[in-house]
Amino acid sequence: NTNREVLKEFVRPHLTEERFRHTIRVTDTAHQLSGRFGGDSDKIEEAGMLHDYAKFRPKEEMARWISGSVELPKDLLDYSPVLWHGPVAVKMLEKEWGPLQPEVRTAIASHTTGKAHMSLYDKIIFLADYIEPARAFPGVEEVREIAEESLDQACLAALTNTIGFLMKKKQTVYPDTFHAYNELQRKQE
Protein backbone atom coordinates (compact mmCIF):
# COMPACT_ATOMS: atom_id res chain seq x y z
CA ASN A 1 0.00 0.00 0.00
CA THR A 2 1.73 3.16 -1.23
CA ASN A 3 -0.32 5.50 0.89
CA ARG A 4 0.78 3.63 4.02
CA GLU A 5 4.44 4.07 2.99
CA VAL A 6 3.92 7.80 2.45
CA LEU A 7 2.16 8.13 5.81
CA LYS A 8 4.89 6.12 7.55
CA GLU A 9 7.69 8.34 6.32
CA PHE A 10 5.65 11.43 7.12
CA VAL A 11 4.96 10.51 10.78
CA ARG A 12 8.19 8.68 11.63
CA PRO A 13 10.32 11.79 12.34
CA HIS A 14 7.68 13.05 14.78
CA LEU A 15 7.56 9.93 16.94
CA THR A 16 9.85 7.75 19.03
CA GLU A 17 10.55 4.27 17.72
CA GLU A 18 8.18 2.78 20.33
CA ARG A 19 5.40 5.23 19.51
CA PHE A 20 5.92 4.61 15.79
CA ARG A 21 5.46 0.87 16.33
CA HIS A 22 2.32 1.59 18.41
CA THR A 23 1.03 3.67 15.49
CA ILE A 24 1.48 0.74 13.09
CA ARG A 25 -0.24 -1.63 15.56
CA VAL A 26 -3.19 0.77 15.98
CA THR A 27 -3.56 1.02 12.20
CA ASP A 28 -3.46 -2.78 11.79
CA THR A 29 -5.95 -3.24 14.64
CA ALA A 30 -8.22 -0.58 13.14
CA HIS A 31 -8.12 -2.43 9.80
CA GLN A 32 -9.19 -5.63 11.53
CA LEU A 33 -12.05 -3.83 13.31
CA SER A 34 -13.05 -2.25 10.02
CA GLY A 35 -13.24 -5.71 8.42
CA ARG A 36 -15.73 -6.62 11.16
CA PHE A 37 -17.71 -3.38 11.47
CA GLY A 38 -17.23 -1.52 8.17
CA GLY A 39 -15.69 1.76 7.06
CA ASP A 40 -13.42 2.87 4.25
CA SER A 41 -9.93 1.42 4.56
CA ASP A 42 -8.11 4.51 3.22
CA LYS A 43 -9.75 6.67 5.90
CA ILE A 44 -8.95 4.09 8.58
CA GLU A 45 -5.35 3.97 7.38
CA GLU A 46 -4.94 7.74 7.49
CA ALA A 47 -6.58 8.19 10.88
CA GLY A 48 -4.60 5.30 12.40
CA MET A 49 -1.25 6.43 11.05
CA LEU A 50 -1.77 10.09 12.03
CA HIS A 51 -3.60 9.78 15.39
CA ASP A 52 -0.55 10.36 17.64
CA TYR A 53 1.19 12.83 15.33
CA ALA A 54 1.27 15.56 18.01
CA LYS A 55 2.07 13.24 20.94
CA PHE A 56 5.55 14.68 21.54
CA ARG A 57 4.87 18.36 20.98
CA PRO A 58 5.83 20.50 23.99
CA LYS A 59 2.94 21.41 26.28
CA GLU A 60 3.42 25.12 25.61
CA GLU A 61 3.17 24.60 21.87
CA MET A 62 0.00 22.51 22.21
CA ALA A 63 -1.52 25.13 24.52
CA ARG A 64 -0.81 27.79 21.89
CA TRP A 65 -2.59 25.74 19.21
CA ILE A 66 -5.61 25.41 21.49
CA SER A 67 -5.72 29.09 22.51
CA GLY A 68 -5.19 30.22 18.92
CA SER A 69 -7.84 28.05 17.29
CA VAL A 70 -11.45 29.20 16.97
CA GLU A 71 -12.52 25.60 16.61
CA LEU A 72 -10.75 23.69 19.39
CA PRO A 73 -12.54 23.70 22.77
CA LYS A 74 -10.75 26.01 25.21
CA ASP A 75 -11.81 23.92 28.21
CA LEU A 76 -9.14 21.39 27.22
CA LEU A 77 -6.69 23.76 28.89
CA ASP A 78 -8.39 23.08 32.25
CA TYR A 79 -7.67 19.34 31.89
CA SER A 80 -4.61 17.11 31.60
CA PRO A 81 -2.14 17.92 28.79
CA VAL A 82 -2.26 14.21 27.85
CA LEU A 83 -5.66 15.01 26.29
CA TRP A 84 -4.34 17.75 24.02
CA HIS A 85 -2.43 15.83 21.36
CA GLY A 86 -5.51 14.60 19.44
CA PRO A 87 -7.24 17.95 18.90
CA VAL A 88 -3.88 19.67 18.32
CA ALA A 89 -2.86 17.05 15.74
CA VAL A 90 -5.73 17.98 13.42
CA LYS A 91 -4.67 21.63 13.40
CA MET A 92 -0.98 20.80 12.88
CA LEU A 93 -1.79 18.23 10.19
CA GLU A 94 -3.87 20.69 8.19
CA LYS A 95 -0.77 22.82 7.96
CA GLU A 96 1.92 20.17 7.69
CA TRP A 97 0.17 17.31 5.84
CA GLY A 98 -2.82 18.75 3.96
CA PRO A 99 -6.60 18.77 4.18
CA LEU A 100 -8.08 15.87 6.14
CA GLN A 101 -11.39 14.24 5.35
CA PRO A 102 -13.99 15.00 8.04
CA GLU A 103 -14.13 11.37 9.24
CA VAL A 104 -10.35 11.31 9.64
CA ARG A 105 -10.28 14.64 11.47
CA THR A 106 -12.81 13.73 14.13
CA ALA A 107 -11.33 10.26 14.63
CA ILE A 108 -7.94 11.82 15.36
CA ALA A 109 -9.36 14.67 17.47
CA SER A 110 -11.46 12.40 19.70
CA HIS A 111 -9.16 9.37 19.98
CA THR A 112 -8.09 10.01 23.59
CA THR A 113 -11.33 11.19 25.22
CA GLY A 114 -14.11 9.87 23.04
CA LYS A 115 -17.17 12.10 22.62
CA ALA A 116 -20.94 11.95 22.26
CA HIS A 117 -22.27 10.64 18.94
CA MET A 118 -19.02 9.00 17.88
CA SER A 119 -18.96 7.93 14.24
CA LEU A 120 -17.92 4.47 13.08
CA TYR A 121 -14.42 5.88 12.42
CA ASP A 122 -14.21 7.60 15.81
CA LYS A 123 -15.11 4.34 17.54
CA ILE A 124 -12.72 2.20 15.51
CA ILE A 125 -9.71 4.45 16.17
CA PHE A 126 -10.62 4.96 19.84
CA LEU A 127 -10.95 1.21 20.35
CA ALA A 128 -7.90 0.24 18.26
CA ASP A 129 -5.81 2.64 20.36
CA TYR A 130 -7.08 0.93 23.50
CA ILE A 131 -6.77 -2.74 22.44
CA GLU A 132 -3.74 -2.81 20.10
CA PRO A 133 -1.76 -5.98 20.91
CA ALA A 134 0.92 -4.33 23.10
CA ARG A 135 -1.60 -2.68 25.44
CA ALA A 136 -1.65 -4.27 28.88
CA PHE A 137 -4.21 -2.21 30.83
CA PRO A 138 -6.13 -4.16 33.47
CA GLY A 139 -9.28 -5.40 31.74
CA VAL A 140 -7.99 -4.97 28.20
CA GLU A 141 -8.35 -8.67 27.43
CA GLU A 142 -12.06 -8.52 28.21
CA VAL A 143 -12.42 -5.48 25.95
CA ARG A 144 -10.66 -7.42 23.15
CA GLU A 145 -13.16 -10.23 23.56
CA ILE A 146 -16.15 -7.88 23.49
CA ALA A 147 -14.65 -6.27 20.36
CA GLU A 148 -15.13 -9.59 18.55
CA GLU A 149 -18.89 -8.98 18.80
CA SER A 150 -19.84 -5.38 19.35
CA LEU A 151 -18.10 -2.09 18.60
CA ASP A 152 -20.40 -0.10 20.90
CA GLN A 153 -20.08 -2.49 23.81
CA ALA A 154 -16.30 -2.65 23.43
CA CYS A 155 -16.03 1.17 23.39
CA LEU A 156 -18.30 1.30 26.43
CA ALA A 157 -16.12 -1.20 28.27
CA ALA A 158 -12.97 0.78 27.39
CA LEU A 159 -14.60 4.04 28.55
CA THR A 160 -15.77 2.41 31.78
CA ASN A 161 -12.24 1.14 32.48
CA THR A 162 -10.64 4.50 31.69
CA ILE A 163 -13.08 6.51 33.82
CA GLY A 164 -12.69 4.06 36.71
CA PHE A 165 -8.91 4.14 36.39
CA LEU A 166 -8.81 7.95 36.38
CA MET A 167 -11.17 8.25 39.36
CA LYS A 168 -9.16 5.70 41.31
CA LYS A 169 -6.07 7.82 40.68
CA LYS A 170 -8.04 10.93 41.76
CA GLN A 171 -7.65 12.51 38.33
CA THR A 172 -10.16 14.69 36.54
CA VAL A 173 -12.20 13.25 33.67
CA TYR A 174 -12.87 15.34 30.57
CA PRO A 175 -16.63 15.84 30.06
CA ASP A 176 -16.57 14.35 26.53
CA THR A 177 -15.42 11.07 28.07
CA PHE A 178 -18.57 11.05 30.22
CA HIS A 179 -20.69 12.06 27.23
CA ALA A 180 -19.35 9.08 25.28
CA TYR A 181 -19.91 6.76 28.24
CA ASN A 182 -23.43 8.05 28.95
CA GLU A 183 -24.57 7.75 25.36
CA LEU A 184 -23.33 4.17 24.92
CA GLN A 185 -24.60 3.15 28.36
CA ARG A 186 -28.07 4.50 27.53
CA LYS A 187 -28.07 2.51 24.28
CA GLN A 188 -27.54 -0.70 26.29
CA GLU A 189 -30.49 -0.05 28.58
Chain residues binding ligand DGI by CB under 6 A are 22, 52, 55, 79-80, 82-83, 111-113, 129, 162, 166, 171-174, 177
Q: Which region among 52-60, 67-75, 90-98, 169-177 touches Fe ion (by CB under 5 A)?
A: 52-60
Quote the CA–CA distance of 90 and 109 in Å, as a whole number: 6
Q: CA quadruple 64, 116, 11, 6: dihedral positive or negative? A: negative
Burial of residue 97 (number of CB atoms within 10 Å: 0-12, 13-18, 19+): middle
Nearer to Fe ion, 46 or 129 (CB): 129
- In the list Fe ion, ligand DGI, none, the entry touching 41 (Cβ below 5 to 8 angstroms by class) is none
Nearer to Fe ion, 70 or 158 (CB): 158
Question: Which residues are within 8 A (CB) of 132 and not within 5 positions of it... i.e. 6 or more apart?
Answer: 22, 25, 26, 28, 29
- In the list ligand DGI, Fe ion, none, the entry touching 6 (Cβ below 5 to 8 angstroms by class) is none
Tell me if 129 contacts Fe ion by CB under 5 A: yes
Nearer to Fe ion, 52 or 122 (CB): 52
Task: Give Cα 171 distance to the centre of its chain.
Answer: 19
Q: Which region among 40-48, 63-71, 117-125, 129-137 touches Fe ion (by CB under 5 A)?
A: 129-137
End-to-end CA separation in angstroms for the chain: 42
Binding site for Fe ion (CB under 5 A): 52, 129
